Amino acid sequence: MAYVQRKIAFLGTPATNPETKPFWDGCAAGKLLVPKCTACGKSHWYPRGLCPFCFSDKLEWVAASGKGKIYTVSVMERAEVPYAIGYVTLAEGPSMMTNIVDCDLGALRIGQDVVLKFVPSEGGPPMPMFTPV
Ligand SMILES: [Zn+2]
């Protein structure tokens, strides 16, 4: 999808830090990893050193199922090449900002079921995005 690759090129290669390195390594291996707290059992997004629910530092990375629902979406129709950006709520609980790709942009709806799709980036790992089921 040319429009997606152009958008990622604009954003540049994602920066990595110790809190996000496992996530990007997961992307490189084709897995969407999300942090999960072993103290309270909740998953969260974005990655950080402490659980936002109970402040424990007992975190592990778990592979997400790749299933989710559109929480909210905006279609950038006036862009040179239109695209959709929004939040997807993962089956594991957290919501993540992402792009919705390979779809009829005008048919996207809140609550719609979507599934993970990795999209190549320039000079970095593939990016986790979503497409309607
Ligand atoms: Zn916790």
The structure's pTM equals 0.86
> Strands, E, within 64-126: which ranges?
67-76, 83-90, 95-100, 113-119
Helices marked H in the chain: 2-11, 21-28
pLDDT at 18: 84
Give the Å distance between the CA of 12 and the centre of ligand 1.
32
Give the Å distance between the CA of 63 and the centre of ligand 1.
17
Dump pLDDT digits (tens) for 21-76: 999 999 999 999 999 999 999 999 999 999 999 999 999 999 999 999 999 999 99
pLDDT at 13: 62
Rg (C-alpha) for the chain, rounded Å, is 15
Position 103 pLDDT exceeds 90:
yes
* d(C-alpha 100, C-alpha 88), whole Å: 9
Give the Å distance between the CA of 55 and the centre of ligand 1.
6
Give the Å distance between the CA of 60 and the centre of ligand 1.
11
